[in-house]
Structure 1
Amino acid sequence: RVKDVDFQYGQITVRDGKGGKDRVTTLPEPLREPLLRHLERIKALHELDVRQGFGQVYLPFALERKYPNASRHWGWQYVFPAPKRSVDPRTRKVRRHHLSENVIQKAVSAAIQRSGIAKPGSCHTFRHSFATHLLEAGYDIRTVQELLGHKDVTTTMIYTHVL
């Protein structure tokens, strides 16, 4: 969600990751400007939705009952929204959902192919590279563990095989 991207501190909060936990990770400097431009386009789309009487997103837990107008608030909008609005089967309200993981994975694979990289890659490849580069740069294994959201440091130790 938009509120989970912190440009001031260069952080992204990942919600409900593996194990249902939240974690904070870095927002790489080279991504800040492109992401800001992307969010400007998404904000224009959201404002159009609101003007047309829509602009809602699904809210977690009981937040929708507690804050009935929050579902239209900019901070709760998805960073990668679906191109079309759809009917929420639970509430029958018309909302704009987020892109599916599958769409993101296909876009990443296509971008890797277009870049001319011969090896196949995926979102997980970027995660693996992120961890490996941090360790190569001398980051402490516990810091890398926290950034990746691993419960057990032995999971993070897998990335040390290339060192």
Structure 2
Amino acid sequence: MDEDVLSTPGHLISLAARGFARLSESRLKPLGFGVGQLPVLVALQNGKASTQRDLARFARVEQPPMAQMLARMERDGLIQRTPDPDDGRSSRIVMAKAAQHSMPEAIAALFQGNKEALTGFTDAEAEQLVDLLKRLIENLDQIASAESSAQL
């Protein structure tokens, strides 16, 4: 049996992810945000992380790209760094006032984009899609973790 590689879940999810990224980027750019910055801003907004290491873990990216992103975000006035009172080598990261002010509009734009992308889906289908994607991500994380452990 000859399968169509362009119809595999991996390829279709990649196409959907790129489509969502383009849509989100076009709607966030006028607000001064990039789509890659949203996990950082959400983590800071919700108080889930405040160090570079915590933000990298939360956003599921490696430390070097996170450091580069934070440097750009600081340059663009989206975040501010302050010395960590508990660790002089580290700094605490907080969302700048301008970013706090624009976050509700950015989040609304993302929700609207998601709603538009799911046109024709029932609420149950949309909920099922989210559940399936969460399970898929969990499986992929487990595979990656097992493979990185095996390489040690």
> Which TM-score bucket, shorter chain as reference?
0.3 to 0.5
Q: TM-score, normalised by structure 1?
A: 0.33
Structure number with higher helix proportion: 2
Q: TM-score, normalised by structure 2?
A: 0.34
